[in-house]
Amino acid sequence: MSLANAPRALNKLLIANRGEIACRVIRTARRLGLASVAVYSDADALARHVREADEAIRIGPAAARDSYLNVEAVIDAARRTGADAIHPGYGFLSENANFVAACETASIVFVGPPASAIAAMGDKSAAKARMDAAGVPLVPGYHGDDQADAHLQAEAERIGYPVLLKASAGGGGKGMRVVERGADFQTALDGCRRESQAAFNDDRMLIEKYLTQPRHVEVQVFCDSQGNGVYLFERDCSVQRRHQKVLEEAPAPGMSEALRREMGDAAVRAAQEIGYVGAGTVEFLLDPSQGQDGAFYFMEMNTRLQVEHPVTEMITGEDLVEWQLRVAAGLPLPKKQSELTISGHAFEARLYAEDPEQDFLPATGTLVRFGLDLTGAGLGAERVRLDSGVEAGDAVSMHYDPMLAKLIVHGYDRAQALATLNRALAALDVSGVVTNRAFLQRLASHPAFAGAELTTRFIEHHEQALFAPTALDEADYARAALVALDCLHSEAANDSPWQRRDGWRLNAPARLRIALAAPAHGRDTAAIVTVLAEREPNRGDWRLTVRDRRFSGNLQRLDGDGVALTLDGHRRRLLARRDRDSHGETLVLADAHGEKRLAWRRLDAVDHGQHEVDATLTAPMHGTVVALLVEPGQRVDKGTPLMVMEAMKMEHTLSAPADGAVEAFHFAAGDTVGQGDVLLEFQAGDH
């Protein structure tokens, strides 16, 4: 049935969100014949979701509280454009009961649950009490009204350490701390209360037994207004950083059919207990140490569409946004539980503008390149999907969540899907903004992840391997030199020997030196490796000398960024790209096993001196100066905190790069700085 002829007729849909989820909803709306309306802040006037929508309305300045969180502005945009319905996406107003009530008052269909269901799950303590009454298993804990410090500590002692303190009204890891022993309880409680009050205007706490090796498994549920409810199986979201998901997969590995049914039925009971309508996710902690299949415990319910919903779509073949729109239009669920099946396995990797090497510091800038080179990687598009809210040329702002895109892959089984994920991550071509792409590939290629040894502390447990510097051998430098030689050859303006830059010599084989340097790890100085390249007579191959090793090699260009690099008869297919910035040029060589990055130049243009510590510190991203921690002229040791910046609701401390002194600060507390701005003058060395 057309949505225009449904019980609640839908013809035009406003998406009260931005980025990749707005673009994703627009695609389904267009397929179903719905006109789409985007909303945008001043920072997003040229954003991709604005470009893709049929109409777009400005709703305020850059700050989210004045635009995407402005209920009146969003409702007014729907009225002005004649939108029948509003899809909230996730985040922003998606779980705001007052916004749902405002939609009902304005006679606008809210694509989501009723306000009462959102309110029921928004208070985590009250929600757990209702789940307990509905027979949904709970982690041992305290969710009561007595919030006296002494009573909370007594409850923690009763439960037994370690315990997890959580904000009752919280989410996103805010107001949440693990307490290992009673002596630390009061300090942790005070900190959680402050964070919860600042984030949610509510400092009530709940306490749960902290499971040391749990898995985070969530169940996708759907309910309609006729009282029907189904579950679309589960997702494993255990791999997280700062309590936020990084890699997700469906179905959860190692699940028995009995446990899957038990968790699914419990999730549907939880949804129906609160009169739920639409798409929702019931999150569980799975303790694999309990019994044959493990024991699961209700954690919370997200009363909206989840970021990771595409992996469920991949294994079920269903469009969950279409289901949302049909249910919102008053139609019954498209399928019964008996009609839903699992096909294969799927992964989702979240691409963030952030620097894992700098404690996941959010990054800003302009995307020079952004795309998925499936051709170069030798992949087909039928099992790979990129949901993004950006394109090449777009600016990444400091004002919003740094997620750029989601890379989703499907395979016949987990092993095939994981192999495809690694190849697809190599094919993800992003430059101009620092991202976690390479870190995602290190995660996905880690042996423990391949073995499905999943816990919510996976990154913490494998930190040493995940953050280790990339190991390079002589063959890696030789391959990089072949790519550099190809770059020099391609830069020739014409076939004239006087225009060539690839070592051409009159009456002699081509000969030149290439200087290569892997990125420095931490504050170490990058080591420069010299490769002597000589063209082999009558063959076209290169003789490459790296340190004390010699190779014979050549390069063949393939489709896209694909290249075939042959060393001593061993041919390997790779993706080879060039990144340019103000510091020079970097070669990026990537395949399913990871990537290697090397700065390069012709030797006659390279400064071989060991560089001293840079005399300036620059802003790693756009933000605001919060505090200056030392006085000009003050002597400091290497690593001493010098100043604090705030961006994307996070504080970042900049430290001294060496022993020395700050000669001058260029900004004061409260000043706004741009990425790359010189923040201070620093003189290294003794005085």
pLDDT, residue 172, reads 64
| Confidence class for position 496, pLDDT limits 50, 70, 90 | low
**SS3 label, residue 220:** strand
Provide the 8-state DSSP code for 291.
Answer: T
Provide the 8-state DSSP code for 63.
Answer: S
| Confidence class for position 615, pLDDT limits 50, 70, 90 | very low
What span, in angstroms and rounded, lies between the C-alpha atoms of 296 and 157?
23
What span, in angstroms and rounded, lies between the C-alpha atoms of 309 and 218?
11
- Cβ-contact 601, 516 below 8 angstroms: no
Strand order in the sheet with 176-179: 141-142, 205-209, 163-167, 176-179
Q: For 78-87, 560-569, 647-656, which range has the lowest pLDDT when averaged over its residues?
A: 647-656
Secondary structure (DSSP) of 535-551: EPTTT--EEEEETTEEE
What is the total residue count of the chain?
Answer: 687
Q: Is 630 exposed, middle or buried (0-12, 13-18, 19+ CB in 10 A)?
A: middle
Query: 358 or 313: whose pLDDT is higher?
Result: 313
CATH architecture of 3-111: 3-Layer(aba) Sandwich (3.40)
- Cβ-contact 312, 410 below 8 angstroms: no
| Confidence class for position 471, pLDDT limits 50, 70, 90 | confident
- Cβ-contact 288, 456 below 8 angstroms: no
Angle at 188 between CA 185 and CA 194, to 5 degrees: 140
Enclosing H/E stretch for 199: helix 185-200
Catalytic annotation, pick one of 204, 304, 385, 414: 304
| Confidence class for position 292, pLDDT limits 50, 70, 90 | confident
| Confidence class for position 492, pLDDT limits 50, 70, 90 | low
**pLDDT tens digit sequence for 390-438:** 999 999 988 998 999 999 999 999 999 999 999 999 999 999 999 999 9
The position carrying tokens 């040791």 is 637
Residue 548 is which amino acid? Answer: D
CATH architecture of 215-466: 2-Layer Sandwich (3.30)
Residue 533 is which amino acid? Answer: A
**73-78-80-84 Cα dihedral, nearest 10 degrees:** -160
Give the Å distances, CA to CA, from 168 to 46, 173, 550.
Answer: 38, 12, 64
pLDDT, residue 203, reads 93
**382-387-393-399 Cα dihedral, nearest 10 degrees:** -170
Could you tell me what percent of the chain has a pLDDT over 70? 91
| pLDDT of 621 over the 70 cut | no
**pLDDT tens digit sequence for 594-603:** 999 998 887 6
Please give the backbone phi and psi of residue 193, each rounded to the nearest 5 degrees, phi first. -60, -45
Secondary structure (DSSP) of 584-637: EEEEEEEETTEEEEEEEEEGGG---SPPPPPSEEE-SSSEEEEEE-S-TT-EE-
| Confidence class for position 609, pLDDT limits 50, 70, 90 | very low
**pLDDT tens digit sequence for 657-670:** 888 888 889 999 98
Query: 585 or 38: whose pLDDT is higher?
Result: 38
Domain boundaries, the chain: 3-111, 140-209, 215-466, 474-605, 616-684
Q: Quick one: fold of 474-605? A: Glycoprotein, Type 4 Pilin (3.30.700)
- Cβ-contact 394, 366 below 8 angstroms: yes
Instruction: Give the homologous superfamily in CATH for domain 140-209.
Output: ATP-grasp fold, A domain (3.30.1490.20)
What span, in angstroms and rounded, lies between the C-alpha atoms of 450 and 454?
10
**pLDDT tens digit sequence for 90-144:** 999 999 999 999 999 999 999 999 999 999 998 877 888 899 889 999 988 898 8
What span, in angstroms and rounded, lies between the C-alpha atoms of 480 and 597?
9
| Through-space distance between the first and last CA atoms of the chain, rounded to whole angstroms | 80
pLDDT, residue 613, reads 41
pLDDT, residue 526, reads 60
pTM of the model: 0.81
pLDDT, residue 380, reads 84
Query: 607 or 102: whose pLDDT is higher?
Result: 102
Give the Å distances, CA to CA, from 480 to 409, 486, 568, 574, 588.
Answer: 29, 10, 15, 11, 8
Examine the residue annotation and report whether 304 is marked as an active-site residue of this protein: yes
**SS3 label, residue 452:** coil
In sign, the C-alpha dihedral spanning 190, 194, 199, 201 is positive
| Confidence class for position 619, pLDDT limits 50, 70, 90 | confident
Query: Of 215, 214, 217, 245, whose CA–CA distance to 231 is shortest?
Result: 217
What span, in angstroms and rounded, lies between the C-alpha atoms of 205 and 170?
9
What residues pair up with 680 in beta bridges, in sequence order?
Answer: 617, 665
Secondary structure (DSSP) of 322-349: HHHHHHHTTPPPSS-GGG----SEEEEE
> Helix, strand, coil proportions of the chain in percent (round to 5)?
30, 35, 40
Cis? peptide before 447, omega within 30° of 0: no
Which residues, 6+ apart, have CB-to-CB distance to 266 below 8 Å?
Answer: 135, 136, 137, 219, 282, 284, 296, 298
Give the Å distances, CA to CA, from 254 to 257, 292, 293, 294.
Answer: 10, 11, 9, 10
| CATH of 616-684 among 2.40.50.100, 3.40.630.30, 2.102.10.10, 2.60.120.200 | 2.40.50.100
- Cβ-contact 156, 179 below 8 angstroms: yes
Which range of 13-17, 583-587, 665-669 scores highest in mean pLDDT? It is 13-17
What span, in angstroms and rounded, lies between the C-alpha atoms of 12 and 181?
55
**pLDDT tens digit sequence for 513-552:** 898 988 765 545 567 888 999 988 777 799 999 999 999 9
pLDDT, residue 48, reads 97
Q: Do domains 140-209 and 215-466 have the same CATH topology?
A: no
- Cβ-contact 85, 75 below 8 angstroms: no
- Cβ-contact 536, 542 below 8 angstroms: yes
